[in-house]
Structures are given as structure tokens and as C-alpha cells.
């Protein structure tokens, strides 16, 4: 999707269109007061105080119509530069503009404003030179937005819109927006009964319904097997810990605002854990270690709780109760490169298996000048950062560097993906940590019999099962590959009177092989049933009639195609089992 903010021409056009919106609103609601109207990646918005009024969809239509009228009026848009005193005078009736102007430096500052017909707004510009240049625009939506994003302040009305240079561009954009809405995982999640929310459970606390739970179980099995093969050992640990545990790890001092408040039980103070690292440090510490034991890889599918703002929680993508596909790898300083390489290779391997192609690797490094922000061991940092770069280059991974974005305790690699709706999020992560092993006083005995501190790699390949599933739903548009689909095969007898017995036989045969199969024996037309299986996105639909029954054949169709294949019964089962066993995605 085009980034309007970054495109010079579109930026000017959209900025101008925000003024057009304000002008139209002023005509329709003379009492309206205006805060700011910036250009964003997806177009523009304007925050407006409409008194007690909350907008409706009908209002949006009205405003858009008025915008069209103002645009057609072909008013010249001209710039004026005025002094701060003059600006304070001109905008004296608008407290929001006064707020902006008052914060501008001093009396000598030159302030610019733009006028079109009867409307003037404070603005740095630039703008298009006449209202007529804005032809192809659309108001997209509205929402409430607190003044200065502070919930203690008044709620303003935020109107979003977008403007293009041609009708075709606008239509393409609107189509894409619609397509994105259609594959929003919250929508598909509801349609396919994958997960639900209930206010009595709480915001950001989804319940995985049977269909979603099946997908999650398959994902767990998949990654568990991969990790076992790579030498990971999995544990189970409680999703609470004492406050002292999190004081030891440092989370209590640095991460408290992301945690649920503590609770007292008997004499102990507990927290719901936001991370599993402290527990895994204790697993390591439970035994003495020699350099020969390292790397040690402790994995867990671990439930965590984090305080996320109620406005930020979103379906399965951003939750308050999540399950990480977590592991902590304990390595010697010399093993950092090799172990990091294995993690990145695993990420690439998994993305390939799922046919994920659109993602960005971000390598977060320290800002060398900022001595305060980062754990102080220059030599360690230099070596580690060089090593990470070296590995990424060796694996020919395309990445960008984010200087100053490293955590206090070490550099990290994140994989960013773009959801259907909303800003980018991190899926996988791999974070180096020099500090935590020290805090827990971890050690191993090296070749020379000396005590050394291991380095820890925190890594999550799926990130959380929650966020990964959200992403997967949007990637596949709900049409999961056979191995993941909640219902894998749908069996339809052509005619219930003649073919039900054979359909039942096949149904039982597949069930015995642990295939998730359903028999559609409703008294409905064949074409209706086939169509419904398609809308339900069931990967394979069997259509069994006379020929199939007489010759022990199976005719089947795949989701998204109306081509019918016909094979011998046992051959079909073998093909199907292979497809599931290989966890084939549509891409491979
Ligand atoms: C990898 N201690 C490390 C761990 O060892 C850790 O917790 N890292 S994290 O904070 O980056 O979280 C791991 C992953 O969880 C992130 O990469 C992201 O994919 C996922 N995640 C983070 N917050 C949420 C959330 N609110 N909802 C869903 N998933 C989340
Ligand atoms: Zn961790």
C-alpha cells in the first residue's frame, strides 16, 4: 500500500484536503473548533471539537458533499506570513489554535497561514494552489480522539480521509482498503469461530474456540518438533512469580508499567508474569554447568500477562494474556555467532514453511555515544554487534539497522510484518543479553576450570501463538493449508438416497486416519453444498456419486478451484496423508 506521507505530491494534496475538510465542517457546524490535521501514511485526519456532537455516518456523507462543493468553487489557496501577535489576534476565538501559537518560540517567529475563500487555517504548508485540484477524495471513517492523546482531556472528533490525483488511484486504494478489511483476522476469526472475546473475561483476553484451538495445537506440535530436533529442552513453569523474582531480574524497576499489579497471598507478594526469562534463569541455575554443556536451550510455550492499554488491544494480535513460543539459550561468548545463526536460520525455515514472504528484519544496535542507556561493556557490545551483522550477511538476509534501538542489556533482531489493518508489528525476535545472567549470578566452568558468566539469547520464533495466528489468518485470508485447517475434508454424497452409504464409508476411513473430516448429508442441492464448502474455506471437498461408488474412486476439489480430480480411494488417502505430514503450504 502506498505511503502517502512519504510521497511528496500526495503529501501536499492530502494536507490541502485536510483544510478542505475543515472548511466544510466550519460551514456545516459554525461552532466547530479545530486542533490539528496532519498527513499520515494512509491519508490525513483532522481533530475537531464539535461541542457535544458525536458524528454519524450520515454526517460524513454530508461533510463530503460540502467538501465537493467547496472544491468545485475553485478558490485560490494563498499563503500569508504573520507575526505571533497578529496570529494570536486572528485566531483569538479558537482556543486550540491559541494553544498551538502560544507554544511557538518568540515574538519574532513568522507564522504562516493559508486561506481559501472564507476559511483560514494555521499551517506550515505547502498546499496546492486552488481548491479545484482536489477532485478525487473520500472520507474514510471517524473516531473519538482525546485532545493531546490524554484521556484526562476532552474527546475530540477525528475524521479520516484520503485524496489522490486520479480517480483510478483513489479507486485502487479504496479497493485495497476493502480487501484489507475483508481479511482482518478479527472478522475472519468471528466468521470461522476461531476465537471470541467476552467482557466478563476482559479486554485483550481472547478465548480460543475449538477451531482456533485446533490450529494452535498444530502450530505447537510443529514448532515443538523443530525445536526438539535442534536440541531444545522444554519445561513448564508457573505463570506467576514473586515480586522478589522480578526485582532480581530488574523487570520490577524497568518493566513495571507493562505488568498487572501485584497481589498478596499469605505473606508473599506475587505478580502475573510478563516474561519467562526469570523462571528459565532458575532452571539453568538448578544445576552446575561446565562449558561442555553449552549451549543449553530451555524452551516453553509460556503464558504471560502484560498490561496493554485498552485502546491498543486488538483481536489476537495485541492481547493482555498471551502464549509465547519462548526459549532462552545459554551460550559462551564464543558461541554467540553460531547460535544466533541457528535462530535466524530457524526463522527463515519457518517463514518458508508458511509461505511468508513480506517481512522486514530489523537489527537494533546501541548508540555508541549514549553511555547512559546501555549496559557498560564496550568490548562485549562491539564483538556481539559485529557478529550479528556478519551472520546476517552470511545468510544473505536483507535487514536494516536501527541505531539506538537496542535494549539496555544487548542488541536484538526483530522481524516486522504488516497486518491487514494498522501499523507494523513484531513477530519473531532474538535478543542478546549480557546482563540477566549476571543478575541471577549464573555461571559455568570453562576449559581452564575458571568460573565464567554465560550470555543469554532470548528468542521467540512465532513471537506469541496469538500474534502469529492473527498474522496467519490474514496471510491465508482464512483459507488455511490442509494440515492446519480445522476441517480438512468435506464429504458430499451427490444424492443422499444412493450415495450416502459410500460417503459414510469414506468418512469413517478418513476419521480412522485422524483426518478432520465432516460429512454433509443435509437435504440440500449438491451445487449449494459445494458452494458452501468453498465459502467455509474447507481445503478439500469430496463429491461422491455413482461412478465413485461403483469403482471405489474419489472425486475431489480444492478450495479456490473448480477443477475436479478423480483418483482411486487408497491413492487419495495416501496423497492426503502425505500432504498433511509434509505440512505443505499453498506455496511449496
Ligand atoms: C523472547 N523475554 C523475551 C523472550 O524471551 C520477550 O518477552 N520478548 S518480547 O517482549 O519481545 O516478546 C516476545 C514476542 O511476543 C514479541 O516478539 C511479539 O511477537 C509478542 N508479543 C509481545 N507483546 C504482545 C502482545 N501484547 N500480544 C501478542 N503478542 C505479543
Ligand atoms: Zn526472555
> What CATH number is attached to the domain comprising 521?
3.40.50.800
User: Is residue 347's pLDDT more than 90?
Assistant: yes
**Is 586 part of any domain?**
no
Same domain, 445 and 577: no
* Together in a domain, 390 and 416: yes
Q: Give the three-state DSSP class for 41.
A: coil
| 343 Cβ below 6 A of ligand 1 | no
Asked whether residue 93 is assigned to any structural domain, the reply reads yes
Give the count of domains, the chain.
3
**What is the Cα–Cα distance from 241 to 440, expressed in whole angstroms?**
15
Q: Are 28 and 184 in contact (CB under 8 A)?
A: no
Percentage helix, strand, coil for the chain under 3-state DSSP, each rounded to 5 = 40, 25, 35
- The answer as to whether 79 is a domain residue is yes
| Nearest CA residue ID for atom 18, ligand 1 | 463
CA-nearest residue, atom 3 of ligand 1:
458
My answer on whether 506 and 434 are in the same domain is no
Cα 429 to ligand 2 centre (Å): 10
Bridge-based pairing state of the strands 489-493 and 517-519: parallel
What was the pLDDT predicted at 85? 85
Q: Give yes or no for residue 43 CB within 6 A of ligand 1.
A: no
- 3-class DSSP state for residue 392? helix
Q: Atom of ligand 1 at shortest distance to CA of 313?
A: 26
User: Binning pLDDT at 50, 70 and 90, where does residue 101 land?
Assistant: confident
If asked whether residues 300 and 395 sit together in one domain, one would say yes
Domain match, 345 and 290 both: yes
- Residue where a domain terminates, one of 160, 183, 206: 183
Average pLDDT over residues 71-99: 88
Q: How high is the pLDDT of residue 586?
A: 65
Q: What is the overall mean pLDDT for the chain? A: 93
The pLDDT tens digits for 192-224 are 999 999 999 999 999 999 999 999 999 999 999
Pairwise CA distance, residues 23 & 30, whole Å: 10
Residue nearest to ligand 1 atom 12, measured at CA: 463
For residue 587, pLDDT beyond 60: no
Residue 467 CB less than 6 A away from ligand 1: yes
Residue 402 maps to a domain: yes
Cβ neighbours around 140 below 10 Å, total = 17
If asked whether residues 268 and 370 sit together in one domain, one would say yes
Instruction: Please check whether residue 299 lies inside any domain of the structure.
Output: yes
Whether the CB of 458 sits within 6 Å of ligand 1:
yes
Which residue among 463, 466, 468 is best mutated to probe the pocket of ligand 1, counting the most ligand atoms within 8 A of its Cβ? 463
Q: In terms of pLDDT, which residue wins out, 461 or 423?
A: 461
- Tell me 133's DSSP state: G
Mutate to test the pocket of ligand 1, among 426, 468, 469, 470 (most ligand atoms within 8 A of CB): 426
List the end-to-end C-alpha distance of the chain, in Å, as a whole number. Answer: 26
Does the C-beta of 97 come closer than 6 Å to ligand 1? no
Q: What is the mean pLDDT of residues 256-285?
A: 96
Q: How confident is the model at residue 457 (pLDDT cuts 50, 70, 90)?
A: very high
| Domain end call among 183, 200, 220 | 183
* Ligand 1 pocket check for 322: Cβ under 6 Å: yes
Regarding whether 167 and 198 lie in a shared domain, the answer is no
Ligand 1 site, residue 339, Cβ cutoff 6 A: no
Residue pair 374/406 in contact (Cβ under 8 Å)? The answer is yes
The ligand that comes nearest to the alpha carbon of residue 307 is 1
Q: Is residue 327 lining ligand 1, measured as CB closer than 6 Å?
A: no
> What are phi and psi for residue 559, nearest 5 degrees?
-55, 135
Region 510-538: mean pLDDT is: 93
Q: Which residues of 383-419 are buried (b: 16+ CB within 10 A; e: fewer)?
A: ebbebbeebbeeeebebeeeeeebbebbbbbbbbbbb
**149 or 446, which is more confident:** 446
* Rounded distance between C-alpha atoms, residue 468 and residue 143, angstroms: 28
* Structure-block grid coordinates of residue 186: 478479527
Indicate whether 123 pLDDT > 90. Answer: no
Residue 587 belongs to some domain of the structure: no
pLDDT for 466-515, tens place per residue? 999 999 999 999 999 999 999 999 999 999 999 999 999 999 999 999 99
Same domain for 450 and 347, yes or no, is yes
pLDDT at 91: 87
Among the residues of 421-551, which ranges form H helices? 436-439, 465-476, 496-512, 526-535, 546-551
Provide the CATH number for the domain around residue 57: 3.30.980.10
Which residue range(s) make up the domain with 467? 191-476
Give 353's contacts (C-beta < 8 A, 6+ positions apart). Answer: 222, 583, 585, 588
Q: Which pLDDT does position 588 carry in this prediction?
A: 47
What is the Å distance from ligand 2's center to 245 Cα?
14
Pocket of ligand 1 contains residue 466 by CB under 6 Å? yes
Residues labelled as active-site residues: 277, 306, 324, 326, 328, 412, 458
Do 328 and 457 meet the contact criterion of CB atoms below 8 Å apart?
yes
**Considering the entire predicted model, what is its pTM?**
0.88
Pocket test for ligand 1, best of 343, 467, 468 (most atoms within 8 A of CB): 467
Examine the domain organization and report whether 137 and 200 are in the same domain: no
- Residues 144, 157 contacting (CB under 8 angstroms): yes
Q: Report the separation in Å between the CA atom of 322 and the middle of ligand 1, taken as the mean of its atom positions.
A: 9
279 and 385 part of one domain: yes
Q: Are residues 461 and 547 in the same domain?
A: no
Whether the Cβ atoms of residue 331 and residue 457 lie closer than 8 Å to each other: yes
> What's the 22 CA to ligand 1 centre distance in angstroms?
40
Residue 75 sits in the same domain as residue 215: no
CA of residue 168 to ligand 2 center, whole Å: 48
The pLDDT value given to residue 335: 95
Judge whether 482 lies within some domain. no
Is the CB of residue 463 below 6 angstroms from any atom belonging to ligand 1? yes
Burial class (CB in 10 A: 0-12, 13-18, 19+), 510: buried
Instruction: List pLDDT tens digits, range 67-76.
Output: 999 999 999 9
pLDDT (tens digit per residue) in 282-330? 999 999 999 999 999 999 999 999 999 988 999 999 999 999 999 999 9
User: What is the distance between the alpha carbons of residues 31 and 45, in angstroms, rounded to a whole number?
Assistant: 19
Nearest to residue 488, comparing CAs of 536, 555, 543, 544? 536
Task: Give me the DSSP letters along 270-312.
Answer: EEE-S-SHHHHHHHHHTS--BGGG-SEEEEEEEEEE----TTT
Question: Measuring from atom 14 of ligand 1, which residue has the nearest CA?
Answer: 463
Banded model confidence at residue 104, pLDDT cuts 50, 70, 90: confident
Confidence band, pLDDT 50/70/90 cuts, at residue 165:
very high
Residue closest via CA to ligand 1's atom 11 equals 429
Grid cell locating 573? 488417502
| Domain-ending residue, one of 445, 476, 507 | 476
* Run of H or E residues at 336: helix 336-353
Higher-confidence position of 147 and 196: 196
| CATH number of the domain within which 381 lies | 3.30.930.10
Amino acid at each position: 500500500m502506498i505511503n502517502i506521507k512519504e510521497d511528496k505530491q500526495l503529501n501536499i494534496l492530502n494536507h490541502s484536503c485536510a483544510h478542505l475538510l475543515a472548511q466544510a465542517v466550519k460551514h456545516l457546524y459554525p461552532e466547530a473548533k479545530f486542533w490539528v490535521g496532519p498527513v499520515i501514511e494512509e491519508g490525513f485526519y483532522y481533530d475537531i471539537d464539535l461541542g457535544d456532537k458525536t458524528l454519524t455516518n450520515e454526517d460524513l456523507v454530508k461533510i463530503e458533499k460540502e467538501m465537493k462543493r467547496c472544491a468545485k468553487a475553485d478558490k485560490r489557496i494563498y499563503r500569508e506570513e504573520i507575526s505571533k501577535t497578529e496570529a494570536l489576534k486572528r485566531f483569538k476565538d479558537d482556543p486550540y489554535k491559541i494553544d498551538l501559537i502560544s507554544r511557538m518560540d518568540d515574538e519574532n517567529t513568522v507564522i504562516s497561514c493559508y486561506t481559501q475563500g472564507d476559511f483560514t487555517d494555521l499551517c506550515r504548508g505547502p498546499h496546492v494552489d486552488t481548491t479545484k485540484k482536489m477532485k478525487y477524495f473520500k472520507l474514510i471513517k471517524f473516531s473519538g480522539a482525546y485532545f493531546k492523546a490524554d484521556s484526562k482531556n476532552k474527546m475530540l472528533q477525528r475524521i479520516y480521509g484520503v485524496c489522490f490525483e486520479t480517480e483510478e488511484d483513489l479507486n485502487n486504494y479504496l479497493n485495497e482498503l476493502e480487501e484489507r478489511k475483508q481479511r482482518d483476522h478479527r472478522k475472519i476469526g468471528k466468521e470461522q469461530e476461531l476465537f471470541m472475546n467476552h467482557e466478563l473475561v476482559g479486554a485483550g483476553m481472547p478465548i480460543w474456540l475449538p477451531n482456533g484451538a485446533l490450529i494452535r495445537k498444530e502450530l505447537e506440535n510443529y514448532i515443538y518438533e523443530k525445536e526438539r530436533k535442534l536440541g531444545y529442552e522444554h519445561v513448564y513453569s508457573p505463570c506467576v512469580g514473586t515480586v522478589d523474582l522480578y526485582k532480581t531480574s530488574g523487570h520490577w524497576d524497568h518493566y513495571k508499567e507493562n505488568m498487572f499489579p501485584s497481589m498478596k497471598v499469605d505473606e508473599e507478594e506475587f505478580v502475573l508474569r510478563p516474561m519467562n526469562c526469570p523462571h528459565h534463569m532458575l532452571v539453568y541455575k538448578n544445576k552446575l554447568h561446565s562449558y561442555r554443556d553449552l549451549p543449553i536451550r530451555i524452551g516453553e510455550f509460556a503464558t504471560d500477562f502484560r498490561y496493554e492499554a485498552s485502546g491498543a488491544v486488538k483481536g489476537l494480535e495485541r492481547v493482555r494474556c498471551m502464549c509465547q513460543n519462548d526459549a532462552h539459550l545459554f551460550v559462551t561468548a564464543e558461541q554467540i555467532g553460531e547460535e544466533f545463526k541457528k535462530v535466524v536460520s530457524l526463522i527463515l525455515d519457518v517463514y518458508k514453511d508458511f509461505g511468508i514472504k513480506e517481512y522486514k528484519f530489523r537489527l537494533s544496535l546501541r548508540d555508541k555515544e549514549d553511555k547512559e542507556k546501555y549496559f557498560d561493556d564496550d568490548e562485549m557490545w562491539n564483538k556481539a554487534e559485529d557478529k550479528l551483522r556478519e551472520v546476517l550477511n552470511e545468510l544473505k538476509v536483507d535487514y536494516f539497522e536501527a541505531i539506538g534501538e537496542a535494549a539496555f542489556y544487548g542488541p536484538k533482531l526483530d522481524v516486522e510484518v504488516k497486518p491487514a489493518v494498522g501499523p507494523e508489528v513484531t513477530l519473531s525476535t532474538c535478543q542478546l543479553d549480557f546482563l540477566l545472567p549476571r543478575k541471577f549470578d549464573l555461571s559455568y566452568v570453562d576449559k581452564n576450570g575458571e568460573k565464567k558468566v554465560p550470555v543469554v539469547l532470548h528468542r521467540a520464533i512465532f513471537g506469541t501463538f496469538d500474534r502469529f495466528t492473527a498474522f496467519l489468518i490474514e496471510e491465508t485470508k482464512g483459507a488455511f493449508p490442509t494440515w492446519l485447517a480445522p476441517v480438512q475434508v468435506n464429504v458430499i454424497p451427490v444424492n443422499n438416497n444412493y450415495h450416502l452409504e459410500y460417503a459414510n464409508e469414506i468418512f469413517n476411513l478418513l476419521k480412522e486416519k485422524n483426518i478432520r473430516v465432516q460429512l454433509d448429508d443435509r437435504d440440500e442441492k449438491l451445487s449449494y453444498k459445494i458452494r458452501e464448502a468453498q465459502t467455509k474455506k474447507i481445503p478439500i471437498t469430496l463429491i461422491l456419486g455413482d461412478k465413485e461408488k461403483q469403482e471405489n474412486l474419489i472425486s475431489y476439489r480444492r478450495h479456490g478451484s473448480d477443477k475436479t480430480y478423480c483418483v482411486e480411494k487408497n491413492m487419495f488417502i495416501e496423497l492426503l496423508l502425505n500432504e498433511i505430514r509434509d505440512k505443505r503450504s499453498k506455496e511449496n
